[in-house]
Amino acid sequence: MNILITGANRGIGAALLAAALERGDTAIGTTRRPGHDTLLQLDVRDPESCAALAERLADVPIDLLICNAGVYLEKGLPADSLQDTQLWADTFATNVTGVYLTAMAFLPHLRQSNTPKLAIISSQMGSNTRAKGQSYIYRASKSAALNLGRNLAVDLKPQGIPVGIYHPGWVRTDMGTDAADISTDDSARGLLDRFDALSLDTTGCFEMWNGDAMPL
């Protein structure tokens, strides 16, 4: 399987890349920073960057596109101190617009595959049902990513491309902290199982890394 993973330089993205390679997939990871030894440069916020990498991989069919790149820029800030509109803009640029730009740039590559799939890493913090306050910017961006994914699922279904949206778990990363429930390896292996199970029958699903349904 040919897999492209955005934001694969750390955390869940790096674990997904390692797990995919370990099981024998042909996996390509990206990072925003240029000059990495093994990862390809991609700034998901920049249409030109997306177009450049898509052109570089023009003849490569992509069986699974994983939109994983994300930021949590307000972490540690009190909820009443988020008046800096740049925080909102920068978060949405990566977590929402970045998903859209990536999906559109690599849609031709997915169409080259016999079994194309699009996976979007959102979060349980994007669930309207599980609204618990705080982290307004991040929650809003992940909710928007969920909405985007579900609408993409509708539009891409006639093209035979299922779309899944996933909560990776509370993972021990820089973003999740050492107090989190599961390791990046557990999350990555679980997510790959969910991606394998994704089909046109389940397109638009919002699931946890372990297969449990997430409330919208």
Which CATH number does the domain housing residue 127 bear? 3.40.50.720
Domain that holds residue 102: 2-208
96 falls within a domain: yes
Q: Encoding tokens for residue 110?
A: 């997915």
154 falls within a domain: yes
What is the residue-level pLDDT of the chain in tens, covering all 216 positions?
A: 999 999 999 999 999 999 999 999 999 999 998 888 899 999 999 999 999 999 999 999 999 999 999 999 999 999 999 999 999 999 999 999 999 999 999 999 999 999 999 999 999 999 999 899 999 999 999 999 999 999 999 999 999 999 999 999 877 665 555 665 788 899 999 999 999 999 999 999 999 999 999 999
97 falls within a domain: yes
216 falls within a domain: no
CA separation (Å) from 44 to 52, 102, 103, 181, 196? 11, 6, 10, 28, 24
**Beta sheet of 163-167, edge-to-edge order:** 40-41, 26-31, 2-5, 64-67, 117-121, 163-167, 205-208
75 falls within a domain: yes
When divided into structural domains, the chain yields a total of 1
214 falls within a domain: no
Q: How much is the pTM?
A: 0.94
Q: Are 127 and 212 in contact (CB under 8 A)?
A: no
32 falls within a domain: yes
How far apart are the C-alpha atoms of 86 and 92, rounded to whole Å?
A: 10
In this structure, what is the dihedral angle of CA atoms 147, 160, 55, 70, given to the nearest 10 degrees?
A: 30
